[in-house]
Amino acid sequence: MVHYKDTANWLKERLIKLPKFAVILGTGLSEMAETFATLQRIPYSELPGFVSSTAPSHKGFMLLADVKGVPVLFLQGRFHYYEGYAIEQVIFPTRVLAALGVKMLVVTNAAGSLRLELPPGAIVQITDHINFMGINPLIGHNDEELGERFPSMNQPYDPECRALCDAIASEQGITTHKGVYIAVTGPSLETKAECAAFAGWGADLVGMSTVPEVITARHAGMKVLAYSIVTNYSNLFHEQAHSQEEIRHHAGISGAHLQNILAEFVLRASQLFSLT
């Protein structure tokens, strides 16, 4: 198995700029990367240790782009546990980012809503999460060089970054919401009873990603910011099953708004945290 440090070294030899920012783009959000000036584009198939993403509308490219003068590495497409990959493979790209020197990770996803106040199309800043995947990506040998054995998950979603994004959203006149994300493995969608249980636990959004990457990034000391785009009401509010088409449609519309927030965030955070 390829070591993430080898992949990071492979990238260090090729990337024309070493980014401090990275963005993982979820379902339906891959296009966001292409609206910025692309500096370099590497297919996952060329990246040592990367598996290929099988999920629909996940592209499988690493893109280095110029966002308002700041180099940002975009991962177009992620690996999900439900695809049958080992959890080590799911978090491999995040580990590579850490070894590459990325300090700020933005994670995006498409999620189902557990609250009537969060309709399809809502942009939701993740404030906290519940790991209900039945697995933790840090199980196994701990690389002390990377992080500690028992990393804190107190405020994994950086409060300063969240506040900065709130300010940007309100300046731009974009409505955003806040919510707790519960991660399940999928691929089957949740039953009504499961949705009711999750809502009762305090979850607002349900999805099949993000939490493994966030735990891994926090372990490695990166700052983390995450947003969901609500693509559908969960089965709590449905009599009919919802389709994959419905899920992808909504991701596209709100993606443009989220992109504007994140571009400005990158610019201001790079100055605020001296990440250039």
- Point out which residues bind ligand HPA (CB under 6 A): 110-112, 186, 189-190, 206-208, 231-232, 234, 247
Nearer to ligand HPA, 128 or 166 (CB): 128
Angle at 210 between CA 209 and CA 213, to 5 degrees: 120
Write down the least CB distance from residue 21 to ligand HPA, Å.
25
Nearer to ligand HPA, 11 or 75 (CB): 75
Q: Which residue has the tokens 């999805």?
A: 207
Listed in order, strand segments (DSSP E) in 87-137 are 104-113, 123-131
What values do phi and psi take at 51, rounded to 5?
A: -90, 175
Write down the least CB distance from residue 113 to ligand HPA, Å.
8
- Closest-approach residue to ligand HPA (CB): 112
- Residue 121 amino acid letter: G
Nearer to ligand HPA, 97 or 183 (CB): 183
Q: Which residue has the tokens 């850490």?
A: 98
Write down the least CB distance from residue 255 to ligand HPA, Å.
14
Residue 93 host element (H or E): helix 87-100
Nearer to ligand HPA, 163 or 193 (CB): 193
Reported residue count of the chain is 276
Write down the least CB distance from residue 26 to ligand HPA, Å.
9
CB atoms within 10 A of CB 55: 18
Nearer to ligand HPA, 36 or 227 (CB): 227
Write down the least CB distance from residue 105 to ligand HPA, Å.
20
- In whole angstroms, how large is the CA radius of gyration of the chain? 17
Nearer to ligand HPA, 10 or 198 (CB): 198
Distance separating alpha carbons of residues 258 and 227, to the nearest angstrom: 8
Write down the least CB distance from residue 245 to ligand HPA, Å.
12
Q: Which two tokens stand for residue 1?
A: 């198995």
